Amino acid sequence: MEILYNSTRTKGNPVTASQAILKGLSDDGGLFVPDRIPALDKSVKELSGMSYAQTAYEVMKLYLTDFTKEELMDCIAKAYDSKFDTEEIAPLREADGAFYLELFHGATIAFKDMALSILPHLLTTSARKNHVENEIVILTATSGDTGKAALAGFADVEGTRIIVFYPKNGVSPIQEKQMVTQKGKNTYVVGIRGNFDDAQTGVKRIFGDKELAAQLNEKGFQFSSANSINIGRLVPQIVYYVYAYARLYGQGRIKDGEKINVAVPTGNFGNILAAFYAKQMGLPIHRLICASNENKVLFDFFASGTYDRNREFVLTSSPSMDILISSNLERLIYQIAGNDADTNAELMEDLKREGRYEITPDMQKALTDFYGNYAKEQETADTIRSLYEKTGYVTDTHTAVASCVYQKYRQETGDDRVTLIASTASPYKFTGSVMKALCGESGLGDFELADRLSQLSGIPVPAAVDEIREAPVLHDHVCGKDEMKQTVLQFLDRKL
């Protein structure tokens, strides 16, 4: 049965999966959501015998129903290949009573690779299916990891260009170096004088500019997104939760049907929303543990029912979570409002106008699947150090936030059931913060610290870090947050 996609802000006018992937964002500024959540049609026992690619097909076929089997399998085969440094793609590591789902074994050593390895193939396939002749312009805001993963995925992909905006002083040195050294004649990287929310708001404003869209269409361009606002980014993220549960079962760690907890370091809400969708598909998940850093807008939301971005923006050691507008939360709000686009649109207008909105008590009752908490900066560092001292396992700062919040959850609830923690980045992506937490080391450059971390952990420095040590800077453009539209136009005027 075909699944169609509706906007979270307007009733009617559903589109196919390939059309939703192509557009990225609905014309009304809403996000695309499936008209129903499909149920898994393979048993856990069957799934436990499958590879990651096979699991990906079994999950994604249920959502991307206008793709043929051959089209989808081709996209999957091109995505989950030797660019990952382990055949498992997403291995599990047990440490200190929890299972860490390592999502950082792709080309850019962050979880964004899991979806952005396949999105270019889904997008170009969607273009062919819908007879699109325009060049597709991928327009993306990043808090650090999406940018490099998207750039790596789309570099020199025929029929596409990609423009990435990032907060100039809001990412780690290695994150920035990964982006500004990116090769590819169709790539463009821009630092903005502002934070991630400024970048994300600017990108959404460009998407909503109908006059600009018409102007670009005449020149043979159309926009799409590589952010998790694109349903083609979100659906592949569901896969690794299903895969991890099946692996736990296959290893004898859980029984068939046994419920587990899932803890996710959360900024833009896409990764934990994918886990929520997996639960609705029938995956036995008990609680979804939403872990925030000191930008704790989501913790406050789950505690009070009020989403309020009117607060100080904090630069932390987990920059990919330094976000005050969690875009994917809109998909959850739409669902707990009874799939009522009008109600959701009103709340999103409140957020735009006043910087806050408040959900009803009935909507708040629908959030019982979630537990929210946050980790302070010192708690994050303490977690990195204590986990290493107990087990020898080293995590990055974002994963440490999730680990810390999971420990708080256990202490508060006494719930000691099997728990999966989404490990979203390699510690080598944040060597300064990780090495300071482990042994107080500072004053060295990030690459020297990477070598020290390798000596300490016994894990080789990833190729993604080694290859940018001496790489030349290819992108040095910086603009104000109000200059993003003009910057886009300048890039598109360039001859490739």
Residues labelled as active-site residues: 112
For residue 407, CA distances in Å to 364, 414, 416 come to 24, 10, 10
CA distance 297 to 291: 11
CA distance 188 to 483: 15
For residue 478, CA distances in Å to 148, 169, 279 come to 17, 11, 42
Longest dimension (CA), the chain: 61
Residues 6+ apart with CB under 8 A from 346: none
CA distance 398 to 427: 9
Query: Bridge partners of 423?
Result: 102
Of residues 24, 16, 15, the one with CA closest to residue 139: 24
Structure tokens that stand for 219 in this block: 């020149």
DSSP-based three-state secondary structure for 418: coil
Q: What is residue 4's DSSP assignment?
A: -
CA distance 488 to 215: 13
Cβ atoms of 137 and 163 within 8 Å: the answer is yes
Q: What are phi and psi of 396, to 5 degrees?
A: -80, 180
Cβ atoms of 264 and 272 within 8 Å: the answer is yes
